[in-house]
Copies of this chain bind each other. A is one copy, B any other.
Amino acid sequence: MDRILIPDIQSSPDTRQIPIDKVGVKGLRYPIRVKDRQKGYQHTVGLFDLFVSLPHLFKGTHMSRFIEVLNEFRGEISMEKFQEILEKTKGKLQAQSAHMNVEFPYFIDKMAPVTGTPGLMSYTCFMRGALADRFDLIVGVEVPVTTVCPCSKEISEYGAHNQRGLVRVQLRFKKFFWIEEIIEIVESSVSSEVYSLLKRPDEKFVTEKAYDNPMFVEDVVRSALSRLREKNNFPWYRIEAETFESIHNHSAYALIEKDFSPEPDCFQGVTPTRFNGSL
């Protein structure tokens, strides 16, 4: 009815002969339920982007339909569901390709290493999916870690500078895996893992363990790569390690990327939303 009364500007023709790679909505916060190896699922909050391609002959896409798709799948985000959501989006928007990004904190119960005291760790996870002729999904996780500097340890009479770092792994996969597996790979590739709750015996253990395992950012990405490679499940991965150096006001950083996949990448860099006066 309102289609008769209210003109549909978006569907009007465009004559500039310029197709658009991605158009849609960006920066939507939504409560979600994600799979959890320990408990079946967990509740968290996602930040979503949802795009489609637009052929050259249409003036615009219909933005409200993206929200309708999200509403329909509300509460259920998983590696398995991703393709279904993109198919629905592609169909509803009559597009040749559809893209969805989501980022969310993921929580894991973790025992302190000596006393076994439980604490809750938060890891930022993300998924970036594309569906055109084929389906492509990248899964990623950011793992906070500790690194002790091997150089500082070697050259000093006592002590060694150490710091928090963040290791970011993104990958394509052949068969289902748990995000916890990637976190375990990263946490065994650093001087020490990080905890939310440590009692004194735990703090002693973590301090000594880290000092016994000094690692540069270079060591971290190499070690994580070796372990990922052994899984034989990941045709593409990018590993980044950034350590917030305790003796400097900048970070040390290393990146390794490996691509064993036969297909070209069908992603393009969407710049994260930024607003106003941040430098």
Instruction: Tell me whether A255 is interfacial, beta carbon within 8 Å.
Output: yes
Instruction: Tell me whether A210 is interfacial, beta carbon within 8 Å.
Output: yes
- Segment at the interface with B among A86-94, A176-184, A201-209: A201-209
Contact A71–B197 (Cβ < 8 Å)? yes
Residues of A contacting B: mostly: mixed
- Docked Cα-Cα span, A117 to B245, in Å, equals 19
Q: How large is the interface on A (under 10, 10 to 19, 20 to 34, 35 or more residues)?
A: 35 or more
Contact A207–B161 (Cβ < 8 Å)? yes
Give 1 or 0 for each of A29-40: 1 = CB within 8 Å of chain B CB: 111000000000
How many copies of this kind of chain does the complex include? Answer: 4
Instruction: Tell me whether A16 is interfacial, beta carbon within 8 Å.
Output: yes
Instruction: Tell me whether A225 is interfacial, beta carbon within 8 Å.
Output: yes
- Segment at the interface with B among A76-84, A129-137, A216-224: A216-224
Known: A44-B45, A59-B216, A146-B161. 7 other contacts (CB 8 A): A16-B226, A18-B256, A51-B255, A142-B274, A151-B203, A155-B203, A238-B268
Taking Cβ atoms with an 8 Å cutoff, the residues of A that contact B are 2, 6-10, 14, 16, 18, 20-31, 42-47, 49, 51, 54, 59-61, 63-64, 67-68, 71, 74, 103-105, 107, 117-122, 124, 142, 144, 146, 148, 150-152, 154-164, 166, 168, 192, 194-201, 203-204, 206-208, 210-211, 216-219, 221-222, 225-226, 238, 240, 242, 244-257, 268-279
